Amino acid sequence: MLRSLDIRDLLIIDHLQLEFQPGLTVLTGETGAGKSILLDSLGFVLGWRGRAELVRKGAKQGEVLAVFDLDENHPARGVLAEAGLPVGDELILRRVNASDGRKTAWVNDRRVSGEVLRQLSELLVELHGQQDDRGLLDVRAHRRLLDDFGGLGRC
Provide φ and ψ at 17, rounded to 5°. Answer: -120, 125
2-124 belongs to CATH 3.30.420.40: no
Report the chain's C-alpha Rg in angstroms: 16
Query: Tell me, what's the pLDDT at 133?
Result: 63
- Let me know how long the chain is: 155
Query: Tell me, what's the pLDDT at 139?
Result: 77
DSSP for residue 112: E
Residues of the chain with CATH 3.40.50.300: 2-124
Provide the residue-wise pLDDT of the chain in tens; the chain has 155 residues: 899 999 999 888 999 999 998 888 888 888 888 888 888 899 889 988 777 778 888 889 999 999 999 999 999 999 999 999 999 999 999 999 988 888 999 999 999 988 898 899 889 987 666 656 666 677 777 888 888 888 886 55
Which of these, 16, 13, 17, lies nearest to 54 by C-alpha position?
13
Which of these, 83, 81, 104, lies nearest to 93 by C-alpha position?
104
